[in-house]
Amino acid sequence: MPTDSAPRPVTLTAFLGVAGFALLITIVRFKSGQDWVPILDSANLVIHEAGHPIVGLFSHRLMVYGGTLFQLLFPALVTFHFKRGGDAVGYVFGLVWLGENLLNVARYMADARTHLLPLVGGGEHDWSEIFSRWGVLDSDTAIAGFTAFLGWSLMAAAPARLFKAWLDTSQNGV
């Protein structure tokens, strides 16, 4: 039974599964024509929407941050959970999900001035409000571009890291 100090060995199947997942959501996202991954982004949206009222319980002013905070916090917690348990595959899965969520956040950020995206619940536009507070509304697409870059990097680097873990495993003859 693996323990915290003895990570589970990574199999080629596991690597292909995670890499395939990252590749699949990339293709689906591009093919959607709306930079949207069905099911996954709907789940992200549900978590996002739950974040606003929960943060709102503590601070009305910070409520606008709650959506993005929660949608990033969830995959981060999943990642942390698997990392702590020595599960490299679950860990990388979490990182891919986190990266994909950053793309979702970037998509919303880039809309701060144009307001082309449909808003759930018809409330205020999170990033119009946040960027206005910060005085950077004119830089919305630049910040979105950087955020998307982080997301893509994570989605590419995480499976690559797993590939390296598999190589190490197979070289050790485990």
The span of 111-119, 122-130, 143-151, 166-174 binding Zn ion (CB under 5 A) equals: 122-130
Nearest to Zn ion of 105, 155 (CB atom)? 105
Task: Please report whether residue 159 would count as binding Zn ion according to CB under 5 A.
Answer: no
Nearest to Zn ion of 121, 173 (CB atom)? 121
Do 79 and 94 meet the contact criterion of CB atoms below 8 Å apart?
yes
Residues 6+ apart with CB under 8 A from 41: 100, 104
Task: Please report whether residue 126 would count as binding Zn ion according to CB under 5 A.
Answer: yes
Residues 6+ apart with CB under 8 A from 87: 7, 8
Task: Please report whether residue 41 would count as binding Zn ion according to CB under 5 A.
Answer: no
Q: Which of 46, 165, 21 is nearest to 100 (CA)?
A: 21
Residue 62 CB, nearest approach to Zn ion (Å) = 12
Do 19 and 163 meet the contact criterion of CB atoms below 8 Å apart?
yes
Nearest to Zn ion of 74, 166 (CB atom)? 74
Question: Which residue has its beta carbon closest to Zn ion?
Answer: 67
# chain residues binding Zn ion, by CB under 5 A:
2
Residue 13 CB, nearest approach to Zn ion (Å) = 38
Nearest to Zn ion of 79, 104 (CB atom)? 104
Alpha helix (H) residue ranges in the chain: 12-32, 40-56, 63-84, 88-109, 126-134, 140-171
Binding pattern to Zn ion, positions 44-73, x when CB under 5 A? -----------------------x------
Do 109 and 144 meet the contact criterion of CB atoms below 8 Å apart?
yes
The residues of the shown chain that bind Zn ion, judged by CB under 5 A, are 67, 126
